[in-house]
Copies of this chain bind each other. A is one copy, B any other.
């Protein structure tokens, strides 16, 4: 560590250099995060010093967090859901499973997840000492609900379903899964970290939220399709009192107990998340989702014209292909099965899609010449 500091000028010169080494989002098709919406950035700046770990000191910010949860609860058909703003999907999933582990009288509790589950469930099981029982997916990469019942056993404390898988952008058959979970008396946690701000605005109706009786909790990330700054995820649960199971006493703070994972928490990102939802409203979000889905369809059509078959028809703005190379200068990712994976976030404009198709088309032409 430097003995004497650097001048602000020299420091920010260095930081600019480093910023130049960050990818711009321009050619990034691999990310479920996106450029924060301008109102999120502005709101975050305004509330930069707010610490939600001490809500009595930051009452205005704490109220906005409550409003955010209410807005999200309303979107998910349960305005009175309990909830709070997490650091992201991983914490949301972890805390949900922590609640259900506590409710279960078992010395060897396990959870049942689809094959497609995000790696955060692996982390959560490791941390919480939970067994993980996996349900295979069908040919469309969705959980095979027919195989669910047999995966649940006497030690199962929760079932997990994915509303918008990370790899393929498909939604598990959550209505069927919720029925089974409900009939079996096992809580169902829905990981809608990505899909939560997309599914409500699709043309086709896909049930996934609290309108299904068997759904106990939902993870939904404003810092993905909610276009907020980082970090802002959220966890909503059917019964607010379930969070009491996570409480520890906090004697020297302005509140006497807290259920969150972190102590100190960013108020800025939470206000940013609220600002985006408030600014756009349902109609604004719907318009963005329409645009992303249109671009997704355009990419799929364009790729198939070039001979790259889709791996599956997605429900959401994620497109996957039988392809094995990416044109230089573009960022895509690869699923565990080896498919090319692209995510049509709001920063991926139609012009970017056309450019990608031209580039991969040129590449293709070069290969066959």
Contacts and interface: CB of A to CB of B under 8 A. Distances in A.
Interface of A: 1-6, 8, 11-12, 14-23, 25, 28, 30-31, 33, 35-36, 39, 41-51, 53-54, 57-61, 63-64, 71-72, 74-75, 87-91, 94, 98, 118-120, 122-123, 126-129, 166-167, 221, 223-224, 229-231, 233, 246, 248-254, 261-269, 271, 275, 277-284, 331, 333-336, 341
Given A230-B265, A264-B230, A278 B90 contact: no
A331 B90 contact: no
B74 A54 contact: no
Contact of A54 (B31, B64, B249, B341): B31
A357 B264 CA distance: 29
Contact of A263 (B75, B89, B282, B335): B89
Given A44-B48, A223-B264, A266-B269, A282 B2 contact: yes
Nearest to A334: B252
24 contacts: A2-B71, A2-B277, A18-B63, A19-B46, A19-B61, A22-B57, A23-B59, A28-B57, A31-B57, A44-B48, A57-B331, A87-B231, A89-B263, A119-B250, A119-B251, A122-B248, A123-B248, A229-B266, A230-B268, A231-B231, A231-B265, A251-B336, A252-B336, A254-B333
Nearest to A341: B252
Given A30-B254, A57-B331, A126-B246, 10 more contacts: A11-B275, A11-B279, A15-B275, A18-B64, A22-B60, A30-B57, A31-B54, A87-B231, A119-B248, A230-B268
